Structure 1
Amino acid sequence: MIPAQQALQRLIEGNRRFVKGAPSSSRHSDQARRAELVADQKPFAIILGCSDSRVPAELVFDQGLGDLFVIRVAGNVVAPSQVGSVEFAAEWFDTRLVVVLGHTCCGAVAATLDELTGRGAHVSRNLRSIVDRVRPAVEPLLETELANNPKLLAERAVRANIRASVGQLRHGSEVLEQLILDGKLLVVGAEYSLATGMVEFFDTAAP
Structure 2
Amino acid sequence: MNQNKHFIERRDFLKLGVTGAFGVMLTASDLLWRVQSAKAAESPQSLSPDAALQKLIEGNERFVQHQPQYPDQSAVRLQEVAQAQHPFATVLTCADSRVPVEIVFDQGVGDIFDVRIAGNIATPEARGSIEYAVTLLGTPVLMVLGHERCGAVTAAVQKQKLPGDIGTFVKAIKPAVARVKDRPGDPVENAVVANVQYQIEQLQRSQLLSEQLKSGKLKIVGGRYDLDTGKVTIVA
TM-score calculated relative to the size of structure 1? 0.89
Cα 1:90–1:156 shift into 2, 3 Å: same
| Structure 1 residue 24 corresponds to structure 2 residue 63 | no
Asked if structure 1 preserves the Cα contact closer than 8 Å seen for 2:135 and 2:209, the reply is no
Note the C-alpha offset of 1:179: 1.1
Q: Which amino acid aligns with 1:160?
A: A
Given candidates 11, 22, 40, the residue that maps to 2:56 is: 11
The counterpart of 1:72, out of the listed 116, 119, 122, is 116
CA-CA distance at 1:185 after TM superposition: 1.1
Three-state SS of the structure 1 residue aligned to 2:224 is strand
Give 1:141 deviation, angstroms.
2.2
Taking every aligned residue pair, what percent have the same amino acid on both sides?
40
Task: Write the letter of the residue equivalent to 1:35.
Answer: Q
Bigger Rg, which one: 2
Which of the pair has the greater relative contact order for Cα pairs under 8 Å at 6+ separation? Answer: 1
- Give the one of 70, 79, 86 matched to 1:35: 79
Equivalent position to 1:156, from 187, 190, 200: 190
User: Which blocks of at least 5 consecutive residues in structure 1 are unaligned?
Assistant: none
Calculate the aligned-residue CA RMSD, in Å.
1.2
Matched residue, 2:221: 188
1:1-207 equivalence runs, <5 A:
1=45, 2-25=47-70, 27=71, 29-115=73-159, 120=160, 122-142=161-181, 144-146=182-184, 152-170=186-204, 172-203=205-236
Deviation per residue, 1:41-90 (Å, 9 max, x gap): 11000000000000011000000001000000000001100110011011
Instruction: Tell me the secondary structure at the aligned position of residue 127 of structure 1.
Output: coil
Q: Gaps (5+ residues) in structure 2? A: 1-44
Displacement of 1:103: 0.5
* Alignment TM-score, normalising by the size of structure 2: 0.78
